[in-house]
Amino acid sequence: MDSRKMIPALLLCLLLIAAPEIGPVMKAEARHCLSQSHNFKGVCFSDNNCANVCHNEGFPSGECKTSKLQSKCFCKKDC
């Protein structure tokens, strides 16, 4: 068999083998668990202030959540 005819077949085989590595990388997102802050005082207006209080409570972050016209600080961590 002519070697010039083998080159396209070899390239096709290489592409099929390498195809899974070329595709997009799928990353699983972690679920977040929320717990109301025990130390935050007052109405929560700033996610940054909430996150600082939560950090002192041992959580990596925090955010303000509004329900029934009240805004409270909830600490967040990966479940």
- Which tens digits make up the pLDDT trace of 34-76? 999 999 999 999 999 999 999 999 999 999 999 888 999 999 9
Does this model's pTM top 0.85? My answer is no
C-alpha dist (Å) from residue 78 to 40, 62, 75: 20, 12, 11
Dist CA 56 CA 78 (whole Å): 17
Instruction: Tell me: pLDDT of 20 over 70.
Output: no
Domains of the chain: 30-79 (3.30.30.10)
Instruction: Tell me: pLDDT of 2 over 70.
Output: no
Q: CB–CB of 58/74 below 8 Å?
A: no
pLDDT at 29: 74
pLDDT at 18: 60
